[in-house]
A and B are shown apart, each in its own frame.
Chain A
Amino acid sequence: MKVFLDNCRTTRVLPEVVGEVEKYMLEKFARPDGLYESAQEIYDELTEARKFFAKTINANSDEEIIFTSGATEANNLALIGVARANKKRGNHIVVSALEHGSVMSIVDALKKEGFEVTVVPVDHEGMLRLEEFEKALRPTTILVSVIAVGHFVGSIMPLKQIGEILSRQDHKIYFHTDAAEMYAKMPLDVQDLKLDLVSVSGHKFHGPKGVGFLYVRKGTKIEPIMYGAESFDKRRPGGENVPAIMGMKKAAELAFEQMEESYRRLRELQDYFIGRIESEIEHVVLNGPRGEKRTPYNVNFSFSFIEGEAISLGLSLEGVEVATGSACASESLEPNYAILAIGGDHERAHGSIRFTFSRFTTKEELDYTVEKLKKVVQWLRNISPLKAER
């Protein structure tokens, strides 16, 4: 049996989505800016797609949706574009300690352009410390970026409270969120959350890779990061990736249809999975929050006395694919910062395994995983010089 539990990194593309992509590669392949009928059709369909996506997040207008090549580009456009455009007003940016690597890389680069960055800590459950967040805001703060759902430990950030805090400030601070792990999995209402910018990634909800979008609230002062022919939007030049966009739309349609039901079903599976691991394997620690504060799509445990890359490779040889926060598994040989940010030590990071579900994950797959996990953990603990007496 093969079990894919690394859906936070990427998901398989659904046949219906593949069908859409194929259709737009082989039949309806015209560019929307052509002067002929088939081009006009594409133009209209793209506009419909924008309207659709706008509706999914309760945006006011389809013009607020910019298609990009993925969430990384969306994050770059949002952060760099807004930072540079508002430089005269201020140079301070606030992010959380659990941002996705791409956001951290971007703000690091912005530091070189003269921006100051404050990283607000999270608590041991991975929730943003709201008091410290509010204290971190300055008259020169122009932008805040907080991930919607932590991708490593699964914490659902208090976006609503953040939005409220920001609306109480006496100057405009743009509010961005990387919603890759929230979009199409739980409700996201940009009016309710008072968001100005939202990054979404197509391949996280069974859409194709290489496509995503950025929501930009009308009136947001933002600069482009690339220049060229104005496709639909001066802010993002270049030919639109129509097949991928239409594929992403189909994937989103299917995901939203099942969103509520999946949330409930996966919550049950999550409780079951966590329950089995905690009762059947010793010396384990759940990383991240329990219950409603946690996305039902994510489980993350640290296994004492053994190392994550070995665990994940061992599982992989048994057909189960997961992720690990161990330093050994990263190119940089640094332990996953998310574990450190929630107060875990290096050892806890090294022994961490992240299991991320898709809405198609079954109880059978999880039972299989637990069996293999027990086997691998037992075997590695036998070889380990570290024992429970410690």
Chain B
Amino acid sequence: MKNICFTFQVHQPYRLRNFHFFEIGSHYNYFDEETNAKIMRQIVEESYLPTNKLLLNLINTFGNKIKVSFAISGTALNQMEQYVPEVLESFKELAATGNIEFLGQNYATSLSSLKSESAFHEEVLEHKRLINKLFRKRPKVFLNTGLLYSDEIGKMISDLGFKGVITEGSSVILNGKSPNNLYKSASRPPLSLFLRNTSLSDDIALRFSQRNWNEWPLTSEKYLGWLSALPASDELVNLVMDYGTFGEHHKKESGIFEFLEFLFRHIAESKDLKLSTPEEVLKSVSAKAKLKISTPISWTGTDKNGSVWLKNEMQQEAFDTLYVMENLIKKTKDKFLHQDWERLKSADHFLYMNNFDEDLNNLFNPYENPYAAFLKYMNVLSDFQLKVEDKTKKSAKRKNSRSFSKKQIDETIN
């Protein structure tokens, strides 16, 4: 039996408000509540809610033959709570069936794994706490921002207690090997590697409604045929995609919901295929070989590495400026500063600063061009820096004044 692992990524960042440089120092709110709420509502209505409902119906019909896993970011969960609580209820309902696995992530879908182990560590634990609080689940398998992975990152993930990690089945690392097997990390062999099947995932996520694609229209029968035709030695197929694929990137009219429903029905009724979750796979499938991955890979861009976020000078300056503040923020122990800092770390902010040539559709990119994205981000960051400095000075002052008054008292007494 081949394991078919569907993993859906759910993420929305806190998009920034049009924060003008006049406002630097004002410490006004950074985030665009209105836009964020609007986008969340739209995607919930078009995608998350109908797809959740579809999955729930399938589970009611086929029981534990229907299984999928979710990677839901902390910023998405918090915005659901804030703006559309009913969708959170719907995810909870799915979780309660026991057929859903939740994957570990870093809270805001940040790029900390490329920059700061301590920040990464904190973010992962924060996300873990949130998943446990909302769904009563403890993630065992990890999905990093944009599927970023390297031997270094593997060490950090393994040290945080995860047994497996999902990354891109990039041709660079596979060297002719099949992505449809379980592999082991070269740096921490207990950590298993799940590799996303790039072409089969993108057939659904990217190409499903492309009329100029020679396989259009893609039917569930055709897709099932592709899965069945895979060699017997392939033990699992990891199909990882953004959850917005259903209803948002491909609208209802494209037939994407029918496709998903019938594909799941066929698999549930199939003798050679079964839907699984990564944690289950870990129990039944043993890892084939070690994969050495010295430079980070990801599922984004043409290069499938970290370059979409950190290629140009603006992205690098913004990124470095942000992480320089890490220790100062920790020292303040301020809840609100900490929350801003988390939200500012979302990789999306850096993606918006990417060069003009990248196609950034499907992202709800609020900016006209990368320059505007950079300017807004830096305005906010400048204000944030001042806010952190103010806080640091204040607490230093408090300490000083206390010791001074004690001294005064001592002097008075003596």
Whether both chains belong to one complex is answered with no
Report which A residues bind B (CB closer than 8 A). none
Report which B residues bind A (CB closer than 8 A). none
